[in-house]
Structure 1
Amino acid sequence: MVDDTCLTGLVLIAYLLAMMAVGAKAASRSGGLESFFLAGRGLRPALLTATLTATILGASSTLGMAGLGFSEGMTGAWWLISGTSGLLILSFFLAERVRAAGCYTLPELMGEEYDQRVRLAASALILVSWIGVVAAQIVASGKLLAVLFGPGQEVFMIASAAVFVAYTALGGQRSIVKTDALQLLILLAGLAVVSARAFSLVGPEILAEASFPTSAARGGTDVLGLVLVVGSTYLAGPDIYSRLLSAERPRTARLSALAAALLLLPLAFVITGLGIAARHLFPGIGPEEALPVLMAEILSPAGEGLVAAALLSALISSADTTLLTATSIFALDLYRARRPGAGEREMMGISRGGTVLIGGLALLSALRLPEITASLLSAYTVFAGGLIVPLLAGFWREQLRLTPEGALAALLGGGGAALLFGERWPLLGMVVSGVLLFSVSRLLPQSRRLIRG
């Protein structure tokens, strides 16, 4: 048993060292701010699709969704299906417009739509939400490693956080894109290995017997709520937009979003199916332990190491992107707003220091974090409640006669309603946001002249 554990540990150590090496090599080519945050706006379709897919396949889409499969059956797949639906809408209608805007961040795009006040409010809302998203990836990595190596979840969380914070601070987007491509390949290989073994033990008929698209655990109203909340975060997520803004041209952004959605759709059923298989084989475990226990109990040590590296890659590839997204907002939308004359060297120092600071705050939050999917859903609910409606409506602001005051009221009112009541009524924030956006815009028509930030 000691030898088996050592072999699994060696595979994971080799994986972490490889990520550091790839990230460091990419960092050596990093240039100024555009290179650090957007990889020089030069991502081609294959690389952009890979990094977009790897970003989405994080804690909620692996450990969390397998846990949903364990606890409620195939309807757990709606988590990633919801995200895929948002990504498809983004591809068909908005991806090219987002890239053509030429901005650095999503709040900057909202500043272009409305004004500087809206940009700052959006920055604060996203920054708070996305620290929680980074924290969820960290706690998931701790849970994964604790299943493999026993007690010490906090130590494992610190170790995994140190790896992705280090290479993100060094190379920014270039490091992330290169590591994401490798991590996606490892993840797909790992899922193939554990799926083949698990379904050979329980038989594929358990999937045919599962209730879908609704079940006793998740009715039609619950499915609709998930589609709107989770789907909207993929339709207008700042980490997704950071990828599209890094594309070499608008058409690349559209095609890559479409390709990523098509790749993710079958994975939703595969990962949820693994949770169902774990429930049949190990009914006494906790839901979010489904994938780690399945991996530890049915695979050889070498296979266990590969799948452990695959799952860890899923968590880290999402954590690094959300971390850099939060950092870009901190540096470009908040710090530079206070110091508009800051030079390139100063901004690079703030960006790297901000990466470490935000990573540290996320780690502290992770030490207190409860269940993965519940925490992520809470963060997504606040984000979607305040930001989705004014952002999307802003693409047609002139036709809809929207004002900056309306957008500001929508951000604050919708986000506040989601924060206070989102757990019970997850769609309330978006409803409040929409009502405030249009009503305040009509009540203050003299403000239709946009004040550019």
Structure 2
Amino acid sequence: MDVIKLNGRGQIMNLLDTVVMLMYFAVLIIAGFIGSIKAKSSEDFMLAGRNLGMFMYLGCLSAVILGGASTIGTAQLGYEHGISGIWFVAMIGLGIIALGTIFNKRISSIKVTTISELLGKKYNKETRYVSALIATIYTLMITVTQVIGIGSIISVLLDWNFILSMLVGGSIVLLYTILGGMWSVTLTDIIQFVVMTIGIFVFMLPISLSEAGGMGKLFSELPASHFNVLSIGIGDIFQYFLLFTLGMVVSQDIWQRIFTARSPSIARKGSVYAGLYSIIYAIAGSMIGMCAMVLLPNMGNTQNTFANFAIEVLPPGVLGFVLASVCSALMSTASGTLLASSTLITNDFIKVLYKNKSEKEIIFISRITTLCVGVVAITLAIWIQDVLVALDVAYAILSGAIFVPFVAALFLKNVKPKSGFYAIIVSTIVVMSGLMIEGLSSKNPIIYGMVSGIVVIVGFTLVTVNKKSYQQVNK
């Protein structure tokens, strides 16, 4: 990991920004202790007691969907493609809106904790186990990417060793998540939502436009393609839809936030607001990337667009706050996916195998599971340090294998118990085979997996109907 040196004013900036970052981390840890006081039952630990009002729910949901990849990735896409860079995060927002408006009413009527628990109720226990396994791998891989992102920001800002930065950042997330579960995550998410919003919309975007010379300068300096909303390509836009819009609908970390709402109305409206906020956030991120293109036209590694540009244009103190907002985005997603992984393991495996446990025992088990998952995630982050391909594979399997059985479970009345299990197994094999044949970046395997899922579910239904008809004829 290349460390960016702060030239000229670096010594003063380092001192101010280090203080800002350390104060921010201290606030998160304090919030974790407050959350531990409120987490008195397993439902408190996993779902914040299903009791969040609109503001807390909106902040909680927005913070988890707008992770570090959303902030850093959108700035990079804005630098490379202009305003068309919005599609990555816009499709995430579209998925949240779809989940809140189309699926929420049916989900809220079924008292479950995980998506795999719902699939187990609609199909059979084997379906619950296999879907829980896939969802756990997916949420774990997202946690790993967020830890890597946290490490990259801390190492750039504080000039620390990259591995040390991942250890510190990942350990802070792990600490406050273990302390209070979803209550700690919720309280820190509210802080992170506010910091993210101020950092991007009050500081980074206005200062970026000012330093770049305003919108007129952007129009005169940038190629026309940077103002074409479709310049990134229809193929990439469709791939974002398959990966992120459909992925959000069946993502456990998003589900877990949906379940925290006090009422279905709050869940529905809050999801729409969070989705719209995501689209506005995507526009801001793309414009920041476009400003960076004007001032830093020959950037070597565009993945560092946001960090490099922030260091270039922001004054001391403000830089620390803005990069703390990026850490906020990373940490909120990391804590959400970390808790989602431990919830899947606790709820769909441990609680099923060891019944009649008291609430205190379940909370203790949840904390131990969270600790273990967190240690694994930090270890993988240090070992791999670049898991973008693995993350694409995880998203592809989640969308390609889980989406169709999930929709069938909610909207089809005569779905057969074994069909969900075999649909997930067959679709996973098809998706993995397609990725190996066509390449890990191909979007086609997701479509193949969804089609194979439909074929399996419809096939089971037709076979069962024909079998019953045959038996009736021969009676």
Residue 332 (structure 1) aligned with residue 343 (structure 2): no
Identity %: 24
Aligned mate of 1:431, from 445, 451, 467: 451
Partner of 2:6 in structure 1? none
SS in 2 for 1:28: helix
Task: Give the Å deviation of 1:324.
Answer: 0.7
Residue 260 (structure 1) aligned with residue 280 (structure 2): no
Greater Rg over alpha carbons, structure: 2
Residue 201 (structure 1) aligned with residue 214 (structure 2): no
Structure 2 Cα separation of the partners of residues 180 and 417 of structure 1: 37
Partner of 1:248 in structure 2? 262
Aligned mate of 2:399, from 374, 384, 394: 384
C-alpha change, 1:262 and 1:279, in structure 2 (3 Å) is same
C-alpha change, 1:151 and 1:170, in structure 2 (3 Å) is closer
Structure 2 Cα separation of the partners of residues 166 and 263 of structure 1: 29
Structure 2 Cα separation of the partners of residues 281 and 139 of structure 1: 27
Task: Give the Å deviation of 1:151.
Answer: 5.2
Partner of 1:410 in structure 2? 423
Structure 2 Cα separation of the partners of residues 142 and 63 of structure 1: 13
Partner of 1:71 in structure 2? 80
SS in 1 for 2:317: helix
Does structure 2 retain, via aligned residues, the 8 Å contact 1:187–1:310?
yes
Does structure 1 retain, via aligned residues, the 8 Å contact 2:148–2:381?
yes
**TM-score scaled by length of structure 1:** 0.93
SS in 2 for 1:285: coil
C-alpha change, 1:149 and 1:447, in structure 2 (3 Å) is farther
Task: Give the Å deviation of 1:426.
Answer: 4.5
Residue 308 (structure 1) aligned with residue 323 (structure 2): yes
Partner of 1:212 in structure 2? 228
Task: Give the Å deviation of 1:397.
Answer: 2.6
Letter in 1 for 2:256: S
Does structure 2 retain, via aligned residues, the 8 Å contact 1:140–1:372?
no
Query: What RMSD over aligned residues (CA atoms) do the two structures have, in Å?
Result: 2.0
Alignment deviations for residues 225-261 of structure 1 (CA, whole Å, 9 cap, x no partner): 2112210122222111111111111111111111111
Residue 234 (structure 1) aligned with residue 248 (structure 2): yes
Structure 2 Cα separation of the partners of residues 66 and 435 of structure 1: 40
Structure 2 Cα separation of the partners of residues 383 and 131 of structure 1: 13
C-alpha change, 1:137 and 1:47, in structure 2 (3 Å) is same
Structure 1 Cα separation of the partners of residues 277 and 204 of structure 2: 18
Task: Give the Å deviation of 1:109.
Answer: 1.3
Does structure 2 retain, via aligned residues, the 8 Å contact 1:138–1:315?
yes
C-alpha change, 1:426 and 1:81, in structure 2 (3 Å) is farther
Does structure 1 retain, via aligned residues, the 8 Å contact 2:92–2:278?
no
How many positions carry a matched residue from both structures? 444
Structure 2 Cα separation of the partners of residues 446 and 341 of structure 1: 42
Does structure 1 retain, via aligned residues, the 8 Å contact 2:432–2:445?
no
Residue 39 (structure 1) aligned with residue 48 (structure 2): yes
Alignment deviations for residues 148-186 of structure 1 (CA, whole Å, 9 cap, x no partner): 233511111111111111111110011111110111111
Structure 1 Cα separation of the partners of residues 391 and 302 of structure 2: 16
Letter in 1 for 2:352: A
Partner of 2:294 in structure 1? 280
Does structure 2 retain, via aligned residues, the 8 Å contact 1:60–1:376?
no
Residue 124 (structure 1) aligned with residue 118 (structure 2): no
C-alpha change, 1:151 and 1:28, in structure 2 (3 Å) is closer
Task: Give the Å deviation of 1:420.
Answer: 3.9
Structure 2 Cα separation of the partners of residues 235 and 135 of structure 1: 21
Deviating more after overlay: 323-332 vs 138-147: 138-147
Instruction: Mark the runs of 5 or more structure 1 residues left unpaired by the alignment.
Output: 449-453
Give runs of aligned pairs for residues 92-103 of structure 1, distance below 5 A: 92-103=101-112
Structure 2 Cα separation of the partners of residues 245 and 369 of structure 1: 33
Aligned mate of 2:172, from 158, 163, 166: 163
**TM-score scaled by length of structure 2:** 0.89
SS in 2 for 1:248: coil
Instruction: Mark the runs of 5 or more structure 2 residues left unpaired by the alignment.
Output: 1-9, 469-475
Task: Give the Å deviation of 1:444.
Answer: 4.5
Does structure 1 retain, via aligned residues, the 8 Å contact 2:139–2:253?
no
Alignment deviations for residues 269-323 of structure 1 (CA, whole Å, 9 cap, x no partner): 1112212222332222312211111111211111101101111011001111111
Aligned mate of 2:432, from 419, 423, 438: 419
Give runs of aligned pairs for residues 105-116 of structure 1, distance below 5 A: 105-116=114-125
Task: Give the Å deviation of 1:138.
Answer: 0.5
Structure 1 Cα separation of the partners of residues 85 and 457 of structure 2: 33
Task: Give the Å deviation of 1:343.
Answer: 2.9
Structure 1 Cα separation of the partners of residues 24 and 76 of structure 2: 25
Aligned mate of 1:361, from 376, 389, 395: 376
Partner of 1:451 in structure 2? none
Does structure 2 retain, via aligned residues, the 8 Å contact 1:327–1:354?
yes
